[in-house]
Amino acid sequence: ADVRGKTAFVTGGANGIGLGIVQALVKAGANVVIADIRQSALDEAKAALNADAQVETVQLDVTDRAAFAAAADRAEARFGKIHMLIGNAGIGVMGPVLDARYDDWDWGMGVNLGGVINGLVTILPRIKAHGEGGQIVTTSSQSALIPISYSAIYTAAKAAVMGISEAIRGELAVENIGVSAFMPGPVQSNISQSGELRPQHLRNDSGYAQREADLEKRPNSPLWMSAEEVGERVLAGIQRNDLYILTHPEFGPGMQKRFDAIMASVPSEPVNEARAKEIFFLLDN
């Protein structure tokens, strides 16, 4: 759908991919509320965008449900209605599963999955209420489609986020709300600095402190896609209401291999017709 004159609420929009999406939306004529935990990055993004008539910023930790509602109130006070939710805020949390402690799981799942859930619970009813329709975009990851080693927590959250978008797409179509699951490959961003965002109360029972310190020193590769290019791809996906938004053809063979393995595991036994009918009924509803 056309985004001109519509309002998008973009979490994690002050840096990296989120900011790339914000730039594309602003250029296409949308109003954008940038919600991010980093106030300084919000200020810098607002100044760089130089489009104050279309841009509002609000400091928000997406794991804080009361603050999320307050941020949505502010968005509506400024622009009247929210049409699009871009659930993009996320952190990098990587390491061996054998080192993962509860604080690591809670932080990773809390931001990368919980943040998306909080966005849906807060904003979906508001989109439905105004009746003008809209769009949900959830930032998952290519790693949801090709899970790799040392990414158990990240993959758990991102696979869940992709699954949510797939599951709600049909339900929301009848409300004229489109849904896109966004699975980017490597993109230049600030994600290596995630560790500084880990809250104090989730630092005691962690096995990943050294990993986070190491990640901070990892530079962006020049081969990674720019956030601006990715933002344009997401905008195009919104305009077409694509269910899946992908960025890198290089992952195609790996995805094929994974799905071939899944298909090879389908039991090669005769189909029970009655059972098949029941399953088709469930899938259609």
197 binds ligand NAI (CB under 6 A): yes
Binding to ligand NAI (CB under 6 A) within 2-21 occurs at: 11-12, 14-18
DSSP character string of 65-96: HHHHHHHHHHHHHHHS---EEEE---------
Q: Using an 8 Å Cβ cutoff, are 109 and 153 in contact?
A: yes
184 binds ligand NAI (CB under 6 A): yes
**Closest C-alpha to 25, from 212, 180, 234, 211:** 234
**Closest C-alpha to 172, from 71, 241, 76:** 241
164 binds ligand NAI (CB under 6 A): no
**Closest C-alpha to 122, from 197, 65, 162:** 65
**Closest C-alpha to 190, from 17, 9, 11, 21:** 17
Question: CA-CA distance, 8 to 85, in Å (whole number)?
Answer: 6
Q: Print the binding letters for residues 14-53 with ligand NAI: x by CB under 6 A, - otherwise.
A: xxxxx-----------------xxx--x------------
CB of residue 114 to ligand NAI, shortest distance in Å? 9
For tokens 């029970």, name the residue.
272
Question: CA-CA distance, 30 to 37, in Å (whole number)?
Answer: 22
User: Would you say 123 or 284 has its CB closer to ligand NAI?
Assistant: 123
Pick the binder of ligand NAI from 26, 94, 111, 160 (CB under 6 A).
Answer: 111
155 binds ligand NAI (CB under 6 A): no
Pick the binder of ligand NAI from 31, 141, 165, 206 (CB under 6 A).
Answer: 141
**Beta strands in the chain, from DSSP E residues, in sequence order:** 7-11, 31-36, 55-59, 84-87, 134-139, 177-183, 244-246
CB of residue 20 to ligand NAI, shortest distance in Å? 8
CA angle, corner 233, sides to 161 and 137, nearest 5? 30
Binding residues for ligand NAI, total number by CB under 6 A: 31
181 binds ligand NAI (CB under 6 A): no
CB of residue 200 to ligand NAI, shortest distance in Å? 14
206 binds ligand NAI (CB under 6 A): no
Question: In this structure, how many other beta carbons lie within 10 angstroms of the beta carbon of residue 68?
Answer: 23
Pick the binder of ligand NAI from 133, 163, 186, 207 (CB under 6 A).
Answer: 186
Which residues are known catalytic residues?
154
Q: Using an 8 Å Cβ cutoff, are 24 and 232 in contact?
A: yes
User: Would you say 32 or 89 has its CB closer to ligand NAI?
Assistant: 89
CB of residue 132 to ligand NAI, shortest distance in Å? 26
For tokens 């209401």, name the residue.
241
User: Would you say 3 or 45 has its CB closer to ligand NAI?
Assistant: 45
User: Would you say 64 or 175 has its CB closer to ligand NAI?
Assistant: 64
Binding to ligand NAI (CB under 6 A) within 66-105 occurs at: 88-91
60 binds ligand NAI (CB under 6 A): yes
CB of residue 13 to ligand NAI, shortest distance in Å? 7
Question: CA-CA distance, 135 to 124, in Å (whole number)?
Answer: 10
List interacting residues with ligand NAI (CB under 6 A): 11-12, 14-18, 36-38, 41, 60-63, 88-91, 111, 115, 139, 141-142, 184, 186-187, 189-191, 197
